A and B are shown apart, each in its own frame.
Chain A
Amino acid sequence: MLPAVEGGPLADEGLVQLLTPAGERVENPEYDRYVAHLSDDDLRAMYRDMVLTRRFDTEATALQRQGELALFAQALGQEAAQIGSGHALKPQDHVFPSYREHGVAHVRGVELAQVLRLFRGVDHGGWDPVAHGFHLYTLVIGSHTLHATGYAMGVQRDGLVGTGDDERDTAVVAYFGDGATSQGDVSEALVFAAVNDAPVVLFCQNNQWAISEPTTRQAAAPIAARAPGFGIPAVRVDGNDVLASYAVTAQALERARSGGGPTFVEAFTYRMGAHTTSDDPSRYRTSEQEEHWRRRDPIDRLRTYLESRGALPAEFVDALQAEADAFGERLRTQVRAMGHPSSASMFEHVYATPHAGVEADRAWFEKYESSFLDAREGSHR
């Protein structure tokens, strides 16, 4: 039983778990087969990604405090849900994130410094969504669950589902929070996904909070409980268990790719940091609750497990530490070097083809700007 967790009395029941919080492997007849092939190297790769994602959070938070970023939203505490599910993806799969999926971005090969372009205020995106199969962050809650579903309907029409070819069959994943499930768009995504058998995985990271509101302000039953009513199978997974997150997502992706339709995954986890750097969680939650979740830290859990198997040699740990330090330093340099977008850049890409209204405004603006240069020579304003 979770003390002071406001997810209801059954909040953490029925969760798929392959690693206990103490880092012990537990058997699970249904899901063991999805992780059976994972080597120690694979697990160390997941460990590495979790450590680097956390380092990213620490650095970005510090950069925000130094005034280098306008805002930042940490993924702190959600590394297992993100790295586990991310590792289950195939290159041809597509991800539709919300705004905190840094771990998944990293797994998809997005250079994390690019993510910070958005938070620094120099870019609305920062990476090529097509190249990475990782779409732009979505700030309007829940909107992208429909995009993911529509994209999956396109994949389906393109005949890339159920061909039996592992390199071709494709799935789509949407990541969103527990708060997002209150949005009409998310319910509409469930409807479209269900009636179309869309190859989409609706991956809810229930981190217990939507800014200051606990999950109980959004739902009176477990979040995953609603999907079956739409005709979509649901599974609840311990989101702080990277192995279980991997297994559950792998199963859902397999269902999607093979033509079995959508799956709703509720990864039960916890947002260990603030909502964003503008938020003050001490106003709405107890340090007792935070402490409870600190003891269930996803990175510690995998580390303990790997250590117990003698699969985390000191050289690996040291090398990872050095890599994380170098990564942190690179991030700082890259962010500071992002510079200032040109003012005229606001007129670019508004439309795919020229638009007279934008062109007129651009022309006016450029003339106006140059009048200042002229004026500096004279003595006008």
Chain B
Amino acid sequence: MTTTIFDAMAAQRNHATVGRHPAAAAAPAAASPAPDATASARAASSDVPPSPTGTQRLTFAKAITLGLRRALADDPKVLLMGEDIGRLGGVFRVTDGLQAEFGEDRVVDTPLAESGIVGTAIGLAMRGYRPVVEIQFDGFIFPAYDQITTQLAKMHYRSKGALQLPVVIRVPYGGGIGAVEHHSESPEVLFAHTAGLRVVTPSSPAEAYALIQQAITSPDPVLFFEPKGRYWEKGDVDLDAAAPAPHGSTATGMDSARVVRTGTDVTLVAYGPTVATAVKAAEAAAAEGTSIEVVDLRTLSPLDTATVAESVRRTGRCVVVHEAPVTYGSGAEVAARITEDCFFHLEAPVLRVGGFATPYPVAKIEHDYLPGLDRVLDAVDRALAF
């Protein structure tokens, strides 16, 4: 045992601990833990250059970066936390450059401890901060599952509204990138099944830029699922259009689904990574004379059944597409609700296309697990055959 070394280290550390935190000298920015304090504290920091404006062609990842950047610039209470998000810019580089710009106190490299990350984010939120947490990969959210479902989700309820926890948890999710196990999972439904959490997932760079800002301004905890297989895809983003909604308002559409493409024969419902697949399927079907409407759910909790139902009442047919296993999946929820709401308009049962009742398979065969164009069109054919 090398106790003496440890003692020496401890002594040295205690000495160094005084005033260790650079912000310790200043008075706490939010003396009051009341969430409303954050609104009054909101102010653009003078030393942060203005956010970029205009319409730019950006990758999905970069659109999120700029959304985060804008949130950091707009609200001094916003802070990012996660493993490797600082100097490295995250393993997907979504936070690239943000630590250099906003400092180590706003963009925090955390210890390798997901429960710790979410648990401390809860405490920070109670103190008036708005932590945006990055979970490095979908399969590593589970060490934090307890904190998310037993604490984060329920604090507002338990405190009868006295405590708000505006925490955003960013999760790169989904497959198709040839990764090793635990790096391609789709656990979104576990969180949509947990009351108290909002669950959203963008499907394009423009959506991502807007939605991340709406998630950050949301007074409720938000699970923000990023389709990692789409990170490198580009799209036009209007950097001015998506100013964050005011606190307490979700009017800008975080809770709403969106019709991505109109059609008359079948409604394809998708979200996140499968929206692009659904659009491709619609294009392929159009060549064969079938007119497909594509609805992007955007949000799994709350589920915007109205937008889907409106579409299905017109088309009479509905196919839901997601990567997560079909069994007990989000497709089951959509199918049940559409059946209840649109029973007399349906020409066919609501069909589901998604992952199988197996763990996520090895990379070499993941394309057989993921719902691709063929499987989607096969389901469309089956729906039309009724």
Contacts and interface: CB of A to CB of B under 8 A. Distances in A.
Interface string B352-386: 00001111011111001100001101100000000
Contacts of B374: 372, 381
A135 interface: no
B111 A218 contact: yes
A9 to B, nearest CB: 7
B254 to A, nearest CB: 31
Interface residues of B, number: 52
B9 A358 contact: no
A10 B109 contact: no
Contacts of A247: none
Nearest to B361: A346
Interface stretch (B42-50, B80-88, B244-252): B80-88
A262 to B, nearest CB: 13
A92 interface: no
A345 B364 CA distance: 11
B84 A211 contact: yes
Given A121-B178, A139-B180, A284-B88, A184 B116 contact: yes
Interface in A326-381: 340-343, 345-347, 350, 355, 357-358, 360-362, 365, 368, 371-372, 381
B5 A184 contact: no
Given A14-B2, A139-B180, A180 B13 contact: no
B241 interface: no
A122 B356 contact: no
Contact of A120 (B89, B356, B364): B364
A284 B99 CA distance: 13
B327 interface: yes
B181 interface: yes
Interface stretch (B138-146, B198-206, B308-316): B138-146
B307 interface: no
B7 to A, nearest CB: 9
**Among B5, B6, B363, B374: residue with most chain A CB under 10 A:** B6
A346 B113 contact: no
Contact of A140 (B8, B91, B142, B363): B142
A70 B178 contact: yes
B112 A141 contact: yes
Contacts, number: 152
Nearest to A350: B358
B5 A14 contact: yes
B116 A182 contact: yes
A126 to B, nearest CB: 10
Contacts of B114: 183
B229 to A, nearest CB: 14
Given A346-B368, A350-B358, A365-B356, A224 B83 contact: no
A236 interface: yes
Contact of A341 (B83, B91, B110, B362): B362
B337 interface: no
B24 interface: no
B159 interface: no
B87 A139 contact: no
A234 B12 CA distance: 20
Nearest to A118: B180
A137 to B, nearest CB: 9
Contacts of B234: none
Contacts of A140: 139-140, 142-143, 182
Contact of B109 (A139, A213, A361, A368): A213
A212 B87 contact: yes
Contact of A121 (B89, B113, B362): B362
**Among B5, B13, B88, B180: residue with most chain A CB under 10 A:** B180
Interface string A213-224: 100011011101
Contacts of B375: 368
A212 B109 contact: yes
Given A124-B362, A211-B88, A184 B112 contact: no
A13 interface: yes
Nearest to A218: B111
Nearest to B117: A182
Contacts of A252: none
B357 A122 contact: no
Interface string B109-126: 111111110000000000
A71 B6 contact: no
Contact of A218 (B112, B140, B327, B368): B112
Nearest to A345: B365
Nearest to A338: B364
Contacts of B286: none
Interface string A231-251: 001111000000000000000
The list of the 4 closest CB pairs from A to B, nearest first, reads A121-B363, A212-B88, A182-B111, A14-B5
Interface of A: 8-10, 13-14, 70-71, 118-124, 139-141, 179-180, 182-185, 210-213, 217-218, 220-222, 224-225, 228, 233-236, 278-279, 283-284, 340-343, 345-347, 350, 355, 357-358, 360-362, 365, 368, 371-372, 381
22 contacts: A8-B9, A14-B4, A139-B180, A139-B182, A139-B183, A140-B143, A141-B112, A180-B112, A184-B116, A184-B143, A185-B143, A211-B88, A222-B5, A228-B6, A235-B2, A283-B89, A284-B88, A346-B356, A355-B357, A360-B357, A365-B356, A368-B375
Given A184-B115, A222-B6, A236-B2, 20 more contacts: A10-B5, A13-B5, A120-B364, A121-B180, A139-B181, A140-B143, A183-B112, A184-B116, A211-B83, A213-B83, A221-B10, A225-B10, A283-B88, A284-B87, A340-B365, A345-B365, A346-B368, A350-B357, A357-B327, A358-B358
